[in-house]
Chains A and B, each alone.
Chain A
Amino acid sequence: MALEAGAVKVGDRYEVVVVEDLKRTQIVQYAGASGDYNPLHTDEIFATEVAGYPKVFAHGMLTMGLTGRMVTDYVGDGALKKYGVRFKAQVWPGDTLTASATVEAVREEDGEAVVDLAISTVNQDGVEVISGSATARLAD
């Protein structure tokens, strides 16, 4: 169900907990699905003893994918025109992530109504792990 133009206004905010207590296995599951098998994400021995990190950490794209679920839950299926993020801090096993979208503008683009969203995902300590933006088509 697409978001309707009449039902959205600047400042509206939508928020979803997209993962609770992130498991290493989910990171491995994402590696398998995406094809990014970097051992920094899947191999604790390599990540700690060779690369010098405290433990494995999630692919940035896993966080972008988890956050994408919040965006499509809000704007509806197939409505996205643009979605972009900047990776700001690492996501570790055990993290709980809350993703939010805030309406920045409702406008016309190419003859159709669209909404611009500011995207932010934070961990359990309130640290922003990604920030970004999205533009989606609105239903009449």
Chain B
Amino acid sequence: MSKLKEFDFPVEASHILMFARAVGDANPVYADPGSEAARAAGGVLAPPTFCQASAQFDPDYFLRPKIGGKWFGSGAEPTGDPEYLKGGVGSGLHAEQHFEYHRHPRPGDRLTATVRSGKTWEKQGRRGGTLSFSESITEYRDQDGELVVTARSIGVKTSQVVEQE
């Protein structure tokens, strides 16, 4: 398992609020420190999949347009970067995601995300084409060096468009 990258992930109350809204969760434990839910939980918490939003703080994250950089989404043309497609259709899809919680992050935590590569393997798709799987493991440690969340992600790259089930 080689280390791919490491970056700081400050956990902020407004980011948790926006994330909870986006996943349709009105639980006040994610939004209101004065709520009964937050008091019972010892303060505001982050929702279970919140660590995925660490992408906001990954300086090199490839699915965020970079100021002054090329972007493969549409503008005057359907794609702003035809080169992008040479890597295959789309940039790969998410196959599995697993979280293990040692505790749940809270606003004010200053997490460090350390991403390591895991296993890789290939499989023949049911409709032809080769599926290439790769695993990555991200450890989120807090300001005291304690492990908070371990995330394991499996991505799949396809040699053709994934058809609807």
Contact A38 B91 (CB under 8 A): yes
Give which listed residue, A32, A42, A50, A83, contacts B99 with CB less than 8 A: A83
Chain B positions within 8 Å of A78 at CB level: 29, 41-42, 45, 103-104
B83 lies within 8 A of chain A by Cβ:
no
A65 touches B23 (CB 8 A): yes
Whether A77 contacts B53 in the complex (CB less than 8 A), given A34-B22, A60-B94, A83-B48, comes out as: no
- Residues in chain B near residue A61, CB distance under 8 A: 49, 52, 94, 97
Cβ of B15 under 8 Å from chain A: yes
Interface size grouping (class) on chain A: 35 or more
**Contact in complex: A35, B56 (CB < 8 Å):** yes
B32-60 to A contact mask, C-beta < 8 Å, 1/0: 00000100111001011100111111100
Residue B4 at the A interface, CB < 8 A?
Answer: no
With A33-B53, A82-B99, A90-B164 already in contact, 17 other A-B pairs whose C-beta atoms are closer than 8 Å:
A18-B24, A19-B24, A32-B22, A34-B19, A42-B73, A43-B74, A59-B94, A62-B22, A65-B19, A69-B47, A78-B103, A80-B101, A81-B100, A82-B100, A83-B98, A84-B152, A87-B96
What bracket does the count of chain B residues touching chain A fall in? 35 or more
Instruction: Assess whether A35 is in contact with B64, with CB atoms less than 8 Å apart.
Output: yes
| B47 interface neighbour in A42, A52, A68, A82, Cβ under 8 Å | A68
**A54-B164 in contact given A45-B74, A80-B101, A83-B48 (Cβ < 8 Å):** yes
Q: Cβ of B49 and Cβ of A65 under 8 Å apart?
A: yes
Using CB atoms and an 8 Å cutoff, list the residues of chain A in contact with chain B: 1, 18-19, 26, 29-30, 32-40, 42-43, 45-46, 49-54, 59-62, 64-66, 68-69, 71-73, 77-78, 80-90, 92, 127
Which residues does chain A contribute within 8 Å of B65, judged by CB atoms? 37
Candidates A34, A49, A88; contact of B52 at CB < 8 Å = A34
Docked Cα-Cα span, A71 to B100, in Å, equals: 14
- CB closest residue in chain A, given B53: A34
The answer to whether B72 touches A46 (Cβ under 8 A) is yes
A50-B78 contact in complex given A32-B18, A37-B65, C-beta closer than 8 Å: yes
Residues of B within 8 A of A83 (CB): 48-49, 98-99, 101
**Cα separation A101 to B25 with both chains bound (whole Å):** 17
Q: Are A72 and B48 in contact (CB under 8 A)?
A: yes
> 17 interchain pairs (CB within 8 A)?
A18-B24, A40-B90, A42-B73, A46-B74, A50-B79, A60-B94, A64-B49, A64-B97, A65-B19, A65-B23, A65-B24, A65-B49, A69-B27, A78-B103, A84-B97, A85-B98, A90-B162
| Listed residue (A78, A80, A82) with the most chain B CB atoms within 10 angstroms of its CB | A78
- Rounded to whole angstroms, the CA-CA distance of A18 and B23 in the bound complex is 9
Specify which chain A residues have a CB less than 8 angstroms from the CB of B5 in the assembled complex.
none
Q: Which of A1, A43, A53, A72 contacts B73 (CB 8 A)?
A: A43
